A and B are shown apart, each in its own frame.
Chain A
Amino acid sequence: MKRRLLTGNGAAAWAARLANVDYIPAFPITPQTEIIESLADWIDSGQMPGRLVTLESEHSMLTAAGAAATTGVRVFSATSSQGLLYAMEMLYTVSGWRAPFVLVNVSRGLSAPITLEPDHNDILAARDSGFLQIHCATCQEVLDSVLLAYRLGEDERVRLPVLVNMDGFYLSFTREPVEIPKIEQVAEFLPPFQVGEIRFRASAPESQAVAVLGGGPYSYFRYETHLAARNAIQVYAELADEFEQAFGRRHEAVECYRCEEAEYLFVMIGSFATKAKAAVNSLREAGWSVGLVRPRLLRPFPDTEIRRLLAGRRAVAVIDQNISFGAGGVLHGEIAAALYGQPDAPPVLASFIGGLGGRDIPAEEFYQIAKVIRDAAEQGETPPPRLLYTGTELRETRKLQAIARVERAGLGGEA
């Protein structure tokens, strides 16, 4: 099959087109806007059916998406960063409706201070929303994951909306070779959405609950959502097989890169994980026994698979591109919870935080992380969490602060 160069945004738009989506509620935000621009172009020029409507905010956009999905049409939307947070109330609400659709999030660090570049605090803010989450590391994965996400979310055992995440700039604006499957081939893998009996029809009211609930029924409905999300682990495993048969590409829930027999592991999500792969390759050449474990599925959390992959290692470094203020790296905490009490859990589980606001993680930092956990394994002690931050960077920041002070004085404030 022919490959062509496509950005992550282009791959997301192509996936929506191939999925034959009916309805796209939209609102622009950098670095996501290209996705809806491409779809708008195609619809406008008749290359794609469906309807795209611009709403007045992401909050309305999500409301429209959820409402449309409950009528049985296939819905796609995309957002980023502050936009995802602005829609947050409705994220929780539409997952409660059990309305399946796909929302692509293009990760961008949150304000304040403001940035355009990526980290994962935006998508992780939606961690407990009831949306399933698939995290991509390449543009091909973006396209493939959107197709997988429709099957996953629409499955009767699941019936939940799905977030497909890619990093701004590093994927959104970066072209890579991507194979675009034929639409007939996609139609075979992804037949039209069968909404079944849980749909909203005009002038045909129905109810499965009451407007205000006590704790008992409330707990029932919430836990049912949890069980549906947990079902998605098994459903995803089946889909990964089916997808591979259909398209010849395999996307595990948790990718394991050169990690068979590896004594030391990096654990990361997102596109920076490919940088970790490059480092693994160099370290392997230099004789290090290192690999990478990369969860693609983050909700539901594939804890059994992670336990299996991490068992028996000498040391593991979890590199979080996010920070939970007052706690630390989110992924590190989740991995630790999955490993607790397991007889063959790795004795060293070190936490590193890096790549905030798109801050680069150069090769030598991966090498150094490998060295830190190897030393830690020898000493039998997990080192304290480490922010990837250099003296040079602090000096640069000091310079900015000094300039700000001078300017504050110039404006009549205190220096």
Chain B
Amino acid sequence: MYRIRFHGRGGQGMKTASRILGTAFFIEGFEVQDAPRYGAERRGAPIFAFVRAAREPIQERGIIRQADLVVVADDTLVPVPAAGVLAGCDAQTVLLINSHQPTEVWKERLNLSGPVLTLPAHEEVADRAELPYVGAACAGAAARLSGVIGLASLEQAIGEELGHLGDQVVAVNRERASRTYEMLVEQAGLVKGERAITAEDWQAPDWIELPFEEADVSAPAIHAGLTSEALKTGSWRTMRPLVDYDRCNRCWWVCSTFCPDGAIRVDEEKYPRIDYDHCKGCLICVAQCPPHAISAVAEHEVQSEEAVS
């Protein structure tokens, strides 16, 4: 059985990627299961989708703990623990990262036992949540790595999944998918889908007896706002608001009042200070600032600059 996970941000088309790949497997005569997994998130938040494909009916369900292939549409997610990109990666897992950084850099950085590939599948854009056609590119790459999906099936799958958006959209997505499909010709069949799950030998789960604890500990009560500081929603951000303090007229209230997340506080000098751990990059402050002192910059660019310095 092939077990494949796609990781990306809400808006990048990972659900679509999983559906294109699922349909392509299905056209090739496989039994298929595909599904996205997300919660109460939104555009920019880390999400994942998965595909199972096998020659016999599929009984497994839910998240794939150990994948044969992990495809990452946005390389800024790799170091985000909440994204779970590297969960369950072992020697049998192929990791494919959509990145302009060289493969060697990722190999060294991640030190994984399995193969690591990179794919410069997109031209760079400022707002990564709008990465164009990256879903089709990822699906094309995964199809080739499986070694069992022909280009015709891939193109037919794109037609079936995106046909409602019109011929033009289908044509461009087919072109992007076939481009990554061709790029990986050398790696065709690298993903084997031969991971065996057997009951010959297994590690017993570390089940415990859950102890009784009094309600002041064990009640799931939330009696105040702002109790989720430790949840770093800043990881959802694909665009970062930056304050030009030379232009800021210290009005002291407009940006901080409009911020829907309370992520802007005003210091004693009446300058706004943005809490990047929690700013989700909605850019309402950019739109509201009267002297236009807040600008939006690409998060991935700031992060690469920060990584260098």
Contact = CB atoms under 8 A, between A and B. Distances in A.
Interface of A: 5, 7, 112-113, 116, 169-170, 173-177, 271-272, 274-275, 277-279, 281-283, 285-286, 288, 358, 360, 362-365, 367-368, 371, 386-392, 394, 401, 403-404, 406-408, 410-411, 413
Given A173-B36, A365-B205, A387-B210, A277 B59 contact: yes
B59 A274 contact: yes
A205 to B, nearest CB: 48
A408 B62 CA distance: 35
A389 B209 CA distance: 8
A367 B199 contact: yes
Contacts of A407: 226-230
Given A116-B39, A177-B26, A390-B205, A5 B32 contact: yes
Contacts of A364: 202-205
B140 interface: no
Nearest to A174: B35
Nearest to A410: B229
Given A113-B220, A283-B199, A362-B65, A392 B206 contact: yes
Contacts of A282: 197-199
A286 B61 contact: no
B59 A175 contact: no
B207 A386 contact: yes
Contacts of B198: 282, 285-286
A394 B28 CA distance: 44
A389 B60 contact: no
Contacts of B62: 169-170, 275, 358, 360
B40 interface: yes
B215 to A, nearest CB: 12
Contacts of B144: none
Given A175-B22, A362-B65, A371-B204, 6 more contacts: A170-B61, A286-B200, A358-B62, A394-B208, A407-B228, A411-B227
A360 B65 CA distance: 10
A214 to B, nearest CB: 43
A386 B210 CA distance: 10
Contacts of B40: 116
Contacts of A271: 61
Nearest to A412: B224
Contacts of B26: 5, 177
B19 interface: yes
Interface centre among A175, A386, A410 (most CB of B within 10 A): A175
B127 interface: no
26 contacts: A5-B19, A5-B32, A170-B61, A174-B33, A174-B61, A175-B32, A175-B35, A177-B31, A274-B61, A275-B61, A278-B59, A286-B198, A360-B63, A363-B199, A364-B205, A368-B204, A371-B204, A390-B205, A390-B207, A390-B208, A394-B208, A394-B210, A401-B217, A407-B230, A410-B229, A411-B226
A368 B61 contact: no
B35 A279 contact: no
A410 B229 CA distance: 10
Contacts of B227: 404, 407-408, 411
A165 to B, nearest CB: 16
A365 B60 CA distance: 14
B34 interface: yes
Given A5-B22, A5-B26, A363-B202, A177 B32 contact: yes
Contacts of A5: 19, 22-23, 26, 32, 34
A98 B212 CA distance: 44
B273 interface: no
Interface in B140-181: none
Contacts of A360: 62-63, 65
A379 B289 CA distance: 74
Nearest to A361: B62
Contacts of A403: 230
A216 B89 CA distance: 66
B208 A389 contact: yes
Nearest to A271: B61
A281 B59 contact: yes
A364 B220 CA distance: 29
A330 B220 CA distance: 23
Contact of B32 (A176, A283, A390): A176
A169 B35 contact: yes
A253 B220 CA distance: 38
